Amino acid sequence: MFFVAYVNKNRCVGCKTCERYCPTGAIKVIRGKAIVNWMICIGCGLCVRSCPQQAIRLVPRYMLTPFPWYFPRRTR
Ligand code: SF4
Ligand code: SF4
């Protein structure tokens, strides 16, 4: 899918509400903070709506992958 969930760790309090709502099990609370498995997330936005802290946003997937020009090819 085009969108993927992105957690603001400063806002997350580890309440696990998002975990219960996620239909694919892509989001898990580990050591008190929600972590999204971007390989499984389908960008449905249920976690975004369920979070009482407004800690989750949907972001376009391409924002997570670095552009190739961040890694210039070595000349030698
Ligand atoms: S619902 Fe929000 S505050 Fe609760 S664990 Fe998920 S991201 Fe964190
Ligand atoms: S956007 Fe949907 S699939 Fe992705 S983590 Fe949130 S609830 Fe799960």
Whether residue 46 is predicted with pLDDT greater than 90 in this model: the reply is yes
Say which residue, 26 or 63, is predicted with more confidence.
26
Which pTM does this prediction carry? Answer: 0.84
Mean per-residue pLDDT over the chain, rounded = 89
Q: CA 43, CA 47: separation in Å to the nearest integer?
A: 9
**How many Å lie between the centroid of ligand 2 and the Cα of residue 58?**
9
pLDDT above 90 for 74: no
- Does 47 contact ligand 2 (Cβ within 6 A)? yes
Q: How far is the CA of 62 from the centre of ligand 1 (A)?
A: 23
For the chain, the structural domain boundaries read 3-63
- The domain 3-63 having CATH identifier 3.30.70.20: the answer here is yes
Kindly give the distance from the C-alpha atom of residue 16 to the centroid of ligand 2, in angstroms, as a whole number. Answer: 13
Summarised one tens digit per residue, pLDDT across range 4-25 is 999 999 999 999 999 999 999 9
- What separation in angstroms does the CA of 32 have from each of 10, 27, 40? 11, 12, 21
User: So what's the pLDDT on residue 72?
Assistant: 59
Instruction: Indicate if ligand 1 lies below 6 Å from the C-beta of 8.
Output: no
**Which H helix or E strand runs over 56?**
strand 56-60
